[in-house]
Amino acid sequence: MKHSDWMLTAGERGNTATRVDSRHPDGAAWTRGNEARPLVHGATYFAELLRNIRAQRRGDLLFFTDWRGDPDERLDGEGTEVGAVLADAAARGVLVKGLLWRSHLDGLRFSESENRHLGEEIAAAGGECLLDMRVRPGGSHHQKLVVLRHPGRPALDVAYVGGIDLCHSRNDDASHHGDPQAMPLAAAYGPRPPWHDVQMAVRGPAVGDIEAGFRERWEDPAALSRSPLVKLRALINGEDTYADPIPPQLPDPPPCGNQTVQVLRTYPNRLLRGYPFAPDGERSVARSYLKALKRARRLIYLEDQYLWSPEVVESFALALRENPELRLIAVIPSVPDQDGRLSGPMNLVGRVQALDKLREAGGGRVAVYGLENRAGTPVYVHAKVCAVDDVWATIGSDNINLRSWTHDSELNCAVLDDDVDSRAPADPAGLGDGARRFARELRLRLSREHLDVPEPDSPDSPGGPDSPCDPDPLCDPVRAFEAFAASAAALDAWHEGGGRGPKPPGRLRAYRPPDLSYAKRRFTMPLYRLLVDPDGRTFGLRRRNAF
């Protein structure tokens, strides 16, 4: 397998201004020798993050970016509030630097005041956290990363990338009882919405690439906001609006694993003065998907918060049309996070169109599911995960929609594992790439949870990832597709029968989009295009539907 068959080359990234690729002596647009681990659920991520931050000492570095940060969100019980943990690190001499999206008004259920208060708590302890509004109108900084560096102790260096913000509702686990510190969602999710999410821990040279991306944003000389009103309010509130210099970047951590990791971003073509590190924007997340989908032959496994935008899913539809054995499994929220008379349809119209396009291309080879917990409450799917043919996988902040592919700032990591997975089928796509351990185990781990299948180290489950004779039927794309369908059908039938008898195992429900009338589609589509799923591409790219 050649890495360039799946990964973007530096030229294919389409952004020569970034240091992420040019900093590599070999000119590669990726790094080898990494250890990448999926951290499924916020509780898993938060507990590990807390341990590693508390282990930092004077002179270490902690960099983070976030869409939302709630200072009172507990990472692991009383006394582990995000603001206090970060402030404690700064107080003991850790260099703490953060970038938070300034956001919109809290009256619109966003996070302006929470982000401001988190920054104030960190600054009071000697750190620095800026409210960053360097986005297109109506856009957001959606990247979620934490980088921990340890001068003189590079083996401890780690970066976290994914979909999990340091905020309310994220601290859930496999039971999906929800975070006690909950954000309000649509009524169907109840007062404590169950939440499904995924983060990735990365060790090795790729930590340097992720840090380089943070530094590009931190060192951007543009004002944090172009709005005179925002600038006046920042002056009145005494906000820090200038990034202090940070020490030169340390050498990359040494190799420590067998995964190749590529850092992928979205930056819009920002109007007037663009980003110095992406003057024409960057759409490497989209381009990476397009390249990987061209090699898809048997199974695309998706978990996504939205799965919107006919223009975006066209690449998935093309793969389905050209490969008659290709199947697609998608796990998405059963209900949008907002259920107002206007906001609900605005959040559905793009999905309905996208799913129509996918089913037109793939028919019965396309299966879309929602999740519920054992109590029957829908689980809000916030994960952004894709695995193609158990070879290539990506985890990040990016959703399948135009906003994430073109308009907001996003950060993903794509992974190719040098370790093959010898369980049958050894080469699902038949292209000679062989199944790879990271992508297959990521898909299997998520699938087992949704199907209520024991983990391979359980006494109830034979074999495991190191056993070439592991009889796990989920390794086979067709049998996995069928297992999802059978599990969802059984649970749907149980509900339709009034919940009589033992509840069947599994958490999957077949997704059935609501019927939006023609008039409702016509009315909400302009608002969807303008507010919900804007397009950050140039006119020429839009006309060609290119990225």
Which residue intervals of 295-419 are DSSP H helices? 310-322, 343-346, 349-362, 402
CB-count exposure of residue 329 (10 Å: 0-12, 13-18, 19+): buried
- How is residue 342 annotated by DSSP? T
Report which residue type is found at 202.
V
Residues 35-254: name the CATH superfamily. Answer: Endonuclease Chain A (3.30.870.10)
- How is residue 252 annotated by DSSP? P
CA distance 480 to 390: 12
In the chain, count of helices (H) and strands (E)? 17, 18
pTM (2 decimals)? 0.95
pLDDT score for 252: 98
Q: Mean pLDDT for each consecutive 10-residue tract of the chain (547 residues)?
A: 96 97 95 98 98 98 96 96 98 98 55 73 96 93 98 98 97 98 95 98 98 98 90 84 96 97 96 90 98 98 96 97 98 93 88 96 98 98 98 98 97 98 96 98 98 75 46 93 98 97 97 87 91 93 95
Largest alpha-carbon pair distance within the chain?
Answer: 67
pLDDT score for 463: 46
CA distance 70 to 164: 12
Is residue 465 within 8 A of residue 521, CB to CB? The reply is: no
pLDDT score for 458: 53
CA distance 541 to 525: 21
pLDDT score for 110: 55
CB-count exposure of residue 318 (10 Å: 0-12, 13-18, 19+): middle
Question: SS3 of 343, please?
Answer: helix
CB-count exposure of residue 10 (10 Å: 0-12, 13-18, 19+): middle
The total number of residues shown for the chain amounts to 547
pLDDT score for 111: 61
How far apart, in Å, are the Cα atoms of 302 and each of 388, 395, 514?
A: 9, 10, 21
- Cα Rg of the chain (Å, integer): 22
